[in-house]
Structure 1
Amino acid sequence: MPVTLSFGNRHNYEINHSRLARLMSPDKEEALYMGVWDRFKDCFRTHKKQEVLEVLYTLIHGCERENQAELNVDITGMEKIHAFTQLKQYANPSQQDRFVMRFDMNQTQVLFEIDGKVIDKCNLHRLLNVSENCIFKVMEEDEEELFFKVCIKYGEKIARYPE
């Protein structure tokens, strides 16, 4: 079942799960990928799908950055958390509860779900830049909530101020 996004105008846009998963990717080429058939159809469209995807990618991820290698945190993971939050924000209010970000059972992965289906995930050890041998204390619900708030804020800062 597609998700309906709205951007403040009176139009709603339906996007399927696979496209949402692709748009979450910080790799712009992967996020904007269109198959041969879509590229062919784009030649005849008055509103180009490629242009719409580029605008949506920029809305979700912010501007591109050049100096990523200087940082020691998993920027990709933070970007995914921020992108998922942005997608949830753009979904119709009645559909926002379909977007769930949570930990797996072992609290080693952050899972991004739409309608209970995992569309992407990121490794908690990489996200925090710690060894895979590091053992985490199981977080309580309020600690999880605070952790996600910090990650969302950090991802937002990365998107707004890439350098």
Structure 2
Amino acid sequence: MRRLLLVLSALMLAPSAEAKTLYYGSRVGMEVTIVKTSGIGSSHARIVAKHTRQNAITFCRDYVGKATEECIAKELQTALHLEITANCKTGKFTTFYGANMLFQGRNPEPGAATDYLISDTDDDVVLDGSGASGYDCTLEQFKALCPNRVR
């Protein structure tokens, strides 16, 4: 069962069959290419990614509307931490923006805007589910690291 969950979560990471990608931001095309994973679902989960020229082209084409050399170069300069990690037991994890987060499980509040509680421990704030909070891509990064914690 655990192996099936890992395979399914890996398939959900990428919209293309060519390379596995994972979103780092909420806009269309804000993605990086996964180059290595280890310890997925454990207390030492790790994903290493690369921000490729193809990732930048996708962002420029699909979000900006034109894949110019200027747009591609600017996108490739986005400051990212290309390694994310998690302790799936405690729920502590990092994002591609370098934020320290805490996955706290299901949101107990009926009718809440989010299914899960995720806190940014650097800013001591709970993500509210809005696009501005980065909730969706942050949850996807945690899911990729700890697929057994999110159903």
What TM-score comes out, normalization by structure 1 length?
0.30
Larger Rg: 1
Q: Say which structure is richer in helix.
A: 1
What TM-score comes out, normalization by structure 2 length?
0.31
Q: Say which structure is richer in strand.
A: 2
